């Protein structure tokens, strides 16, 4: 089984709809991240969490919210989706013990299309 899983893998939705993307990990890591990937822009950090009581905004948090339900689960929500949120979304984890090297482990991604 994969260490970092994301559901759904693909989603098509309409403008104004609320969408939730889910991430689960079995690595036992404390830190979890949400990124979006756009062609030519690389990955940009949306939100990150260092433990279940710690949530922080990243580079591009506007229009998004997150919930850390447990150490292993970190969800990303789009309260009212808009077309420019069409992108590939990645969840990642890293180990607090390994924070010095910040090796992050990525899920397979969720491709979201907002019409």
Partner 1 sequence: AQSVTQLGSHVSVSEGALVLLRCNYSSSVPPYLFWYVQYPNQGLQLLLKYTSAATLVKGINGFEAEFKKSETSFHLTKPSAHMSDAAEYFCAVRILMDSSYKLIFGSGTRLLVRP
Q: How far apart are CA 63 and CA 52, in angstroms?
A: 21
Q: Does residue number 58 form part of the binding site for partner 1 (CB under 8 A)?
A: yes
Q: Give the one residue of 67, 86, 106, 113 binding partner 1; rule: CB under 8 A.
A: 106
Q: Which stretch in 13-21, 34-42, 60-68, 69-77 sits in contact with partner 1 by CB under 8 A?
A: 34-42
Q: Does residue number 103 form part of the binding site for partner 1 (CB under 8 A)?
A: yes
Both structure tokens of 20:
């939730």
Q: Does residue number 42 form part of the binding site for partner 1 (CB under 8 A)?
A: yes
Q: Give the one residue of 1, 62, 97, 101 binding partner 1; rule: CB under 8 A.
A: 101
Between the CA of residue 114 and those of 3, 13, 22, 47, what are the distances in Å?
Answer: 28, 5, 17, 20
Between the CA of residue 1 and those of 73, 87, 91, 104, 107, what are the distances in Å?
Answer: 16, 25, 16, 18, 12
Both structure tokens of 83:
């077309």
For residue 25, the cross-strand partners are 4
Provide, rounded to whole angstroms, the least separation between the CB of residue 26 and partner 1. Answer: 15
Q: Give the one residue of 24, 66, 68, 107 binding partner 1; rule: CB under 8 A.
A: 107
The DSSP code for 93 is: E
Provide, rounded to whole angstroms, the least separation between the CB of residue 39 and partner 1. Answer: 9
- Binding residues for partner 1, per CB under 8 A? 4, 40-45, 48, 50, 56, 58, 90, 92, 99-109
């Amino acid at each position: 089984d994969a260490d970092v899983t994301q559901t759904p893998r693909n989603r098509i939705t309409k403008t104004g709809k609320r969408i939730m993307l889910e991430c689960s990990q079995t690595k036992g890591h404390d830190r979890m991240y949400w990124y979006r990937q756009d062609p030519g822009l690389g990955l940009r950090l949306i939100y990150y969490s260092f433990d279940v009581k710690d949530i922080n905004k990243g580079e591009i948090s506007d229009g998004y919210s997150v919930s850390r339900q447990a150490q292993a689960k970190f969800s990303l929500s789009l309260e009212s989706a808009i077309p420019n949120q069409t992108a590939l979304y990645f969840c990642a984890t890293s180990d607090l013990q390994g924070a010095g090297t910040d090796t992050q482990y990525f899920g397979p991604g969720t491709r979201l299309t907002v019409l």
